[in-house]
Structure 1
Amino acid sequence: MDALQQSLAETLSSGSLGSSDSSGNVANYMGQMAMAMGKLGTLEGFIRQADNLRQQTLQQMHRILTTKQSARALLAIHDYFSRLRALSSLWLARPKE
């Protein structure tokens, strides 16, 4: 999500909003918004695909693994996401250059 926010900020700030022609400003702004909305649409599609894959995997888990293996897998997934959250917090708290 941070990468998306950064990408949108760059898209919106990349244009030259300082021209004296107000219709040019509006057209430029609309173009930037269209690009930003396109990026959001692409991200939404990617997230939907990832969520569908996650759901399918969890639904198929009982066919592939035993109960004990499933429990271990879920514990490993929980541990992985806990570590990922901790790493993300450290990354966000790092000193900025």
Structure 2
Amino acid sequence: MGIYEVQQSVKGTEDALSHAMDTLQQSLFDTVAAPDVAGGGFMEHMSLAMNKIAAMEDIVGQADGLRQQTLHKLKHMLTIRHAARCFVAISDYFHRLRALSTLWVARPRLDEGVPAM
């Protein structure tokens, strides 16, 4: 029952963080893609974009803190066997994430096939 309560609590916080990140991403896209209609200069426009990126970084930090809090709570609820299985699953997840990241970095890019002018 305790794990279910932690799961529900974390799910609500994750949803809120995800919504905030989606909103900031859209706002950042709009800021970068839109012409500078406010009359300000390039530096003001980019400063606004950088502030939004900093806010996104803060959300990522909050999500990391949530993960740490969740692991701390689970540590007190799980048996040794369950904890070991959990850490094996986390290790497998990070291994796959690193492999995906390596593939992503090594992917062929569209601009590589286009000759420079």
CA shift, 1:15, in A, is 6.1
The answer to whether the aligner puts 1:84 opposite 2:97 as a matched pair is yes
Name the structure, 1 or 2, with higher relative contact order (CA <8 Å, separation 6+): 2
The answer for unaligned runs of 5 or more in structure 2 is: 1-24, 111-117
RMSD value, Cα: 2.7
Distance in 1 of aligned mates of 2:54 and 2:108 = 32
The answer for unaligned runs of 5 or more in structure 1 is: 17-23
CA shift, 1:14, in A, is 7.2
CA shift, 1:36, in A, is 2.3
Give the alignment's TM-score, normalised by structure 2. Answer: 0.56
Whether the 8 Å contact between 1:62 and 1:70 is mirrored in structure 2 is yes
- Number of residues paired by the alignment? 81
Give the alignment's TM-score, normalised by structure 1. Answer: 0.65
Deviations 1:2-53 (A, max 9, x none): xx9xx79x93x9768xxxxxxx8xx422222222222222212211211211
Distance in 1 of aligned mates of 2:47 and 2:73 = 39
Amino acid at match of 2:106: A
